[in-house]
Each structure stands twice: as C-alpha cells, then as structure tokens.
Amino acid sequence: MSHLVRNTAYGELFDDNSFIGLLLENDTWSDKEYWLLEVELIEILRKGVNNDNISAILTIVSDITNFPNIGHTNLSLKDKNCRKRSNIAEATEPTIYDRYHRLRTLLRAILGDDIDFLNIDFEYQPNIVDNIK
C-alpha cells in the first residue's frame, strides 16, 4: 500500500508529488498518479477497510470532499493517461468532472462496502484497462 501512504496528507510518508499532493499543493490532477492510487483503493474495496487503512481512507475522503477548486483544477498534460468511454461521441476526452466523479464514487464504494463499483462504465477510463482491474 505504498501509494496509499504517499497520498495520506499529514502522514510521515506523504509525497507532494503523489496524486493528493499534486491536487492539494498545485491544483493539478495527474492521471498517472491517480491510476496508481486507484489500484490500491480497488484492492481495499475488494478486501475491505481495516484498522491499517481506515485513517488513510478517511484522510483522502476529507481532502477530496473539502477541495474547493474542482472546476479550476489543472490537468497535468505530461501525466495524461486516459480515454473517454468509447460510446460517447460529443467529447473526445474526460473532463475534470468525469475524473472527480470516478474518484468520489470509488471512495463511497469503499466506505459503503459496495463492490458494484467494479461494474460501472465510467466516462473516465485508463488507456490500458488491464492497469487497474
């Protein structure tokens, strides 16, 4: 769970270059860092929240819930690694709102023990689906 601890603000191993670090410090969404974190969050979803990871999950939930600048978040072009669901014609790539929707839904699924997250066809998809599932 190295990426989870890197993304836990105020933790000893918090990394300013992690997904949450870039989001909080630079108002920047990094797809590359997001997918690294999501892999571990999905592992927690499958296995369940426990005493070892609950604090980190709640810290990330708090950071995302209280983040004030969703609409003004920059997308890191150098770390871009995503595609839009293929059956949607109007936009060619996911928006920042598509990205936040996926993350918030995953966090809710973890806290609600809702494994159905794995069956949702989100607008925001990784370029390589095998990366995360």
Q: What is the pLDDT of residue 130?
A: 43
Contact in structure between 132 and 35 (CB atoms under 8 Å): yes
Single pTM value for the model: 0.89
Contact in structure between 121 and 75 (CB atoms under 8 Å): no
Q: Going residue by residue through the chain, which has 133 residues, state the pLDDT in tens, using 9 for 90 and above.
A: 899 999 999 889 999 999 999 999 999 999 999 999 999 999 999 999 999 899 999 999 999 988 877 888 989 888 888 988 866 556 678 999 999 999 999 999 999 989 899 999 999 999 865 444 4
- SS3 state at 84: strand
